[in-house]
Amino acid sequence: MFKILGQSFRNGVVTNPYPAVPAGLSENFRGRPAFDFKRWHDARPAASVCPTGAISIQDSASTRRVEVDYGLCVFCGLCADVSTDGAVRITQDFELAAFERRDLITVANYELNSDGSHERMTSVALGSVRSDAVEHVGQKLRDKLRSLLGRSLAIREVDAGSCNGCEIEITALNNSIHDIERFGIHFVASPRHADMLLVTGPVTRNMELALKKTYDATPDPKLVVAVGTCGISGGIFGRNYASLGGVDQVVPVDVFIPGCPPRPEALLHGILAAVGRADVKTWSNYDD
């Protein structure tokens, strides 16, 4: 025992101080791809190599609509590799949690040249137009939840069909490096003891009923967080005979955390944002 205590004193404090200070990231860490839509000469190569359809194109007459969906993006970097004009670059941004699914989508419109390349960008929009009244009601509900759950939080993690990549990152939240319990947040074994469901994976049809029952067993007020690309949209699995797609196809979702998988700091940021202890950035993937 004395050897263990001695080693602990020699190691000192190993807990990552994030979010009090910026996260220490490896230079090789790959975050979200950023798009300079004005400089983007042609989105077709990026759309053709995207494995999940996160970059999609719709052409009509002499115009092109390009949609970038971070809820589908797996941060593979292929779009940057094939965009020779330098308009797509890989960043180290990971604080991407959003309250609305549509806030992860950017749409740009272009006029086209005769060869199908972009002549000029005519408009770009992050998310979609929303009703002020609906947004006000949503904000009031979020404020009420934060006042009730902001000081402590019990989480029940639900694997609805993931590859376990997200589970590895969630497990890391409990180690001495990230130590999520320092925020008064802990994981529980039963949904009846939980304030939040942390759900991973595309919801498989075999897990649909189990997820619904888990949601119903969680007492109100409760929060649901969809983790990772699969939890948001179904990811590379999408919707098919075995998968229903994202978590919001089965139960209501309060916060979406993009990534494949999201790193522990990204998970921590999304969880704290859900209870009002971290800000959701009004980030833009468009560089003027």
Pairing of strands 118-126, 105-112: antiparallel
| CA 119 to chain CA centroid, nearest Å | 32
CB 39 within 8 A of CB 11: no
pLDDT at 167 over 90: yes
pLDDT at 7 over 80: no
Per-residue model confidence (pLDDT) at position 42? 93
Pairing of strands 223-227, 105-112: unpaired
Per-residue model confidence (pLDDT) at position 17? 86
Whether residues 212 and 230 share a domain: the answer is yes
Whether residues 138 and 120 share a domain: the answer is no
- Give the integer Cα–Cα distance in Å for 34 and 31: 9
What value does the mean pLDDT take over residues 102-112?
Answer: 93
Whether residues 159 and 256 share a domain: the answer is yes
Least confident of 27-41, 141-155, 219-233: 141-155
Determine what percent of the chain is predicted with pLDDT higher than 90: 64
Whether residues 186 and 258 share a domain: the answer is yes
What value does the mean pLDDT take over residues 221-250?
Answer: 93
CB 114 within 8 A of CB 276: no
pLDDT at 116 over 90: no
Per-residue model confidence (pLDDT) at position 135? 47
pLDDT at 259 over 70: yes
pLDDT at 134 over 60: no
pLDDT at 124 over 60: yes
Burial of 178 (0-12, 13-18, 19+ CB in 10 A): buried
- Which band of pLDDT confidence, cut at 50, 70 and 90, is reported for residue 282? low
pTM (two decimals): 0.87
Alpha helices in the chain (DSSP H): 2-11, 44-49, 78-82, 132-149, 165-172, 208-217, 228-233, 264-274
CB 109 within 8 A of CB 63: yes
Q: Do the domain assignments include residue 9?
A: no
Domain count, the chain: 2
Per-residue model confidence (pLDDT) at position 171? 95
What value does the mean pLDDT take over residues 83-105?
Answer: 92
Whether residues 90 and 174 share a domain: the answer is no
pLDDT at 140 over 70: no
Whether residues 262 and 149 share a domain: the answer is yes
Q: Do the domain assignments include residue 245?
A: yes
pLDDT in tens, 194-207: 999 999 999 999 99
Nearest to 199 by CA among 242, 121, 256, 239: 256
Q: Do the domain assignments include residue 21?
A: no
Looking at residue 204, the DSSP 8-state letter turns out to be B
Q: Do the domain assignments include residue 284?
A: no
Whether residues 108 and 237 share a domain: the answer is no
Determine what percent of the chain is predicted with pLDDT higher than 70: 83
Whether residues 155 and 119 share a domain: the answer is no
Nearest to 264 by CA among 154, 185, 150: 185
Nearest to 199 by CA among 246, 265, 269: 246
Residues spanned by the domain of 249:
134-274
- Give the integer Cα–Cα distance in Å for 262 and 165: 9
Q: Do the domain assignments include residue 209?
A: yes
Whether residues 249 and 266 share a domain: the answer is yes
Structure tokens belonging to residue 254: 């309060």
Whether residues 266 and 162 share a domain: the answer is yes
